[in-house]
């Protein structure tokens, strides 16, 4: 039976791909899907949003191909952008190959843009935020 949503599996796959020592060196506050008070900086927040592209497959209606918007946010304390850019570059490198998504075939990932946001307040702390917008395509297994 087809899964109702790919989001839990994609979220777990992104977390697993980024929650490794090779990345946490650049993001000592960790990789999260929510903001926690007292988190060390820099830290990485991610979110996933699903778009159903319909029954694209070998036989119409037998599988769904889903486009997942993946948004990465690297937060650093006020100051230069160097640490945020270094952490984001490593995250994009680790996600260059689509992560394995349980119950789905992942077959393409694209980095569309990175946007710098200066002087925001997160949990009472002034931070710089670097946002990368990406897209991941998955097909039901």
- Tens of pLDDT, residue by residue over 129-140, are 999 999 999 988
Tell me what pLDDT residue 65 has.
82
Strands 31-32 and 43-52: parallel
Tell me what pLDDT residue 99 has.
94
Model-wide pTM > 0.75 = yes
- The band of 54, judged by pLDDT with boundaries at 50, 70 and 90, is low
Distance CA 75, CA 57 (A): 39
Judge: domain 7-140, CATH 3.30.2000.30.
Answer: yes
Q: Tell which residue, 26, 9, 1, 25, has the closest CA to residue 98.
A: 9
- Tens of pLDDT, residue by residue over 107-119, are 899 999 999 999 8
| DSSP E strand boundaries for 19-124 | 31-32, 43-52, 65-77, 104-122
């Amino acid at each position: 039976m087809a899964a109702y949503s790919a989001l839990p599996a994609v979220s777990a796959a992104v977390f697993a791909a980024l929650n490794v020592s090779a990345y946490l060196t650049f993001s000592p506050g960790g990789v999260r899907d929510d903001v926690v008070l007292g988190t060390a900086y820099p830290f990485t927040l991610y979110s996933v949003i699903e778009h159903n592209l319909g029954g694209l497959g070998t036989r119409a209606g037998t599988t769904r191909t889903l486009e997942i918007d993946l948004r990465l946010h690297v937060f650093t304390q006020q100051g230069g952008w160097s640490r945020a850019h270094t952490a984001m570059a490593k995250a994009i490198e680790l996600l260059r190959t689509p992560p394995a998504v349980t119950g789905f075939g992942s077959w393409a990932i694209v980095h569309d843009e990175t946007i710098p946001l200066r002087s925001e307040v997160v949990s009472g702390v002034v931070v710089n935020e670097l946002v990368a917008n990406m897209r991941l395509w998955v097909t039901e297994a």
